[in-house]
């Protein structure tokens, strides 16, 4: 044996003597960890069913790119109420109309909480009504926001007409923009302009002003809002595995981007509210901001602060633009994808409204098929697939299973919209399913669509959102004919987030006649 081999042999023996005990200890530790994990999972399964969870990551790797689809698939195996584990958090997932309505409506208080997520604390300076936990101040905060919204959209004929006027103004400008973008046989993606239009309606309500479609600062702001849901959507890994913020990785990068985007968005809203506060006149109400300032800051009995005023406006604008712009974005795609449905809608509007004027809300009862189309967009696309995570405020039983207090709960509301116990042929896009034998809107069936959640956390703007969607669609379909780009396969695939966004597509919007004067 050579000196080198002899030295090498000695080193190996020495190394083996040092490493083997450490290796054995490590293997023993891992075995104990696995055993403890197996016992823990076995104990949990006695309370709630669910898939086996791996160390550290839990079931995170199983969720894939489309968690709501995974949730529905797991429900077929484990039932409509089951438990998963993400990082160090045990999470209950609710599926199906029966279980979800039992939880959110029959036990609304018990499911009104929010988890103590790090991302939630970054929203609207930590005072967000949408993301803060259930409490007495929260109830006061929500009541003020709800009453203010109602006062500016439906409290009386004057405010109702003003609200509808904002929608008409934005819809008619969209028609003009779409016509110009389609000139010379061009095709375009309507997403950005739809977002600006939806944002302008809520900004007109909040600030008494709108922004131009070519306003660079405003479009940049809206681009940030578009990215908002990427982190806040159910299943955000940084919330359930906070240690990911401790070292460089894609999740940490996304979270830091989210923090920066959110602070810029909130800074923009705050600056507008501060300007209103500085010029506030209790005798003159310019928009919802003035009204909220007057109620929260002019009444020392609410227990709320200036920060709650700013966060309320930020919540209203964020929610008011995202849901409507997403619904309109999908609607334009579907109209181009299903030309027979578009033609049927156009013929209905032409017959009931004519070409001499624009549709109004007074025409709604005669345009039941248009309302049905809007509801089918909400049901079929189900573009808010999972609600913002809930947390239980006390122990509660759902579907015969115990869910302990302070449990994080994911509500897969897309499963309600595809529940075969409620919907015939749920995988088929068919607006007529919402019409009764007399051609009227079936209110009982429309109530089964879940896009705005339910119970104490139901979106406070659900009714005005439906008004906006109806009137925008009525005017756009009355004035435009949407056509698909030749050879383009209009896919219904999407990117996942707090709302589902359609993949990039291009259409044209040809005028159906001369643009009507205002």
- Tens of pLDDT, residue by residue over 412-425, are 999 999 999 999 99
Say how far apart CA 210 and CA 205 lie, in whole Å.
9
Which residues share a beta bridge with 511?
A: 480
Q: Between residues 175 and 251, which one has the greater pLDDT?
A: 175
Of 330, 121, 119, 127, nearest in space to 235 by CA? 119
Percent of the chain having pLDDT more than 90?
58
Question: What pLDDT is stored for residue 33 in this prediction?
Answer: 53
- Tokens for 30? 């891992």
Q: Count the neighbouring beta carbons within 10 Å of the beta carbon of residue 6.
A: 10
The highest-confidence range among 125-129, 239-243, 269-273, by mean pLDDT, is: 269-273
Spatial contact of 281 and 237, defined as CB atoms under 8 Å apart: no
Q: Which fold has domain 48-511?
A: Cytochrome p450 (1.10.630)
Say how far apart CA 12 and CA 7 lie, in whole Å.
9
Enclosing H/E stretch for 320? helix 306-337
Say how far apart CA 50 and CA 188 lie, in whole Å.
45
The residues near 493 (Cβ < 8 Å, ≥ 6 apart) are: 502, 503
Say how far apart CA 109 and CA 512 lie, in whole Å.
50
- Tokens for 68? 């709501």
236-268 per-position pLDDT tens digit: 778 888 888 888 888 888 888 888 888 888 888
Which residues share a beta bridge with 83?
A: 92
Which residues share a beta bridge with 397?
A: 402
459 is in an annotated binding site: yes
Measured in residues, the chain has a length of 518
Q: Between residues 412 and 61, which one has the greater pLDDT?
A: 412
Say how far apart CA 374 and CA 39 lie, in whole Å.
49
Of 61, 139, 64, 53, nearest in space to 89 by CA? 53
- Whole-model pTM: value is 0.87
Question: What pLDDT is stored for residue 231 in this prediction?
Answer: 60
**Extents of the domains making up the chain:** 1-47, 48-511
- Tokens for 285? 């109400």
User: Cα 229 to the chain's mean position, in Å?
Assistant: 7
Which residues share a beta bridge with 281?
A: 284
Which residues share a beta bridge with 435?
A: 441
């Amino acid at each position: 044996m050579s000196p080198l081999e002899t030295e090498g042999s000695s080193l190996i023996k020495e190394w083996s003597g040092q490493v083997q005990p450490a290796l054995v200890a490590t293997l023993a530790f891992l075995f104990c960890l696995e055993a403890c994990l197996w016992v823990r999972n076995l104990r949990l399964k006695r309370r709630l069913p669910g898939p086996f969870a791996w160390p550290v990551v839990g079931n995170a790797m199983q969720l894939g790119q489309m968690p709501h689809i995974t949730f529905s698939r797991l429900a077929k195996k484990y039932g409509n109420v089951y438990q998963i584990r993400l990082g160090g958090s045990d999470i209950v997932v609710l599926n199906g109309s029966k279980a979800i309505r039992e939880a959110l409506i029959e036990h609304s208080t018990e499911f009104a909480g929010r988890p103590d997520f790090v991302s939630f604390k970054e929203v609207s300076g930590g005072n967000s009504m949408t993301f803060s936990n259930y409490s007495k101040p929260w109830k006061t905060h929500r009541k003020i926001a709800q009453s203010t919204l109602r006062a500016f959209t439906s409290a009386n004929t004057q405010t109702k007409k003003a609200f509808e006027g904002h929608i008409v103004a934005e819809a008619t400008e969209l028609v003009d923009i779409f016509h110009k973008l389609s000139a010379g046989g061009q095709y375009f993606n309507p997403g950005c302009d739809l977002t600006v239009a939806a944002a302008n309606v809520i900004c007109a309500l909040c600030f008494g002003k709108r922004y131009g479609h070519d306003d660079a600062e405003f479009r940049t702001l809206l681009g940030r809002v578009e990215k908002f849901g990427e982190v806040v959507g159910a299943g955000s890994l940084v919330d359930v595995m906070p240690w990911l913020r401790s070292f460089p990785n894609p999740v940490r990068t996304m979270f830091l981007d989210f923090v920066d985007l959110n602070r810029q968005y909130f800074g923009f809203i705050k600056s507008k509210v501060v300007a209103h506060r500085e010029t506030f006149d209790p005798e003159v109400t310019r928009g919802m901001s003035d009204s909220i300032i007057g109620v929260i800051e002019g009444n020392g009995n609410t227990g709320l602060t200036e920060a709650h005023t700013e966060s309320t406006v930020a919540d209203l604008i964020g929610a008011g633009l995202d849901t409507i712009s997403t619904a309109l974005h999908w609607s334009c795609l579907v109209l181009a994808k299903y030309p027979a449905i578009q033609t049927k809608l156009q013929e209905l509007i032409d017959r009931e409204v004519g070409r001499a004027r624009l549709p109004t809300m007074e025409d709604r009862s005669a345009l039941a098929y248009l309302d049905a189309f809007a509801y089918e967009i909400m049901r079929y696309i189900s573009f808010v697939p999972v609600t913002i995570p809930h947390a239980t405020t006390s122990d509660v039983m759902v579907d015969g299973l115990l869910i302990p207090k302070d449990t994080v709960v994911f509500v897969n509301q897309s499963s309600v919209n595809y529940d075969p116990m409620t919907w015939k042929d749920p995988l088929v896009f068919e607006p007529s399913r919402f019409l009764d034998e007399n051609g009227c809107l079936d209110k009982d069936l429309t109530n089964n669509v879940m896009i705005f959640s339910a119970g104490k956390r139901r979106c406070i703007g659900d009714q005005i959102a439906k008004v906006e969607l109806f009137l925008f669609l009525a005017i756009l379909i009355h004035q435009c004919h949407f056509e698909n780009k030749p050879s383009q396969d209009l896919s219904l695939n999407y990117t996942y987030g707090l709302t589902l966004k359609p993949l990039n597509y291009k259409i044209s919007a040809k005028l159906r006649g001369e643009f009507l004067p205002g």
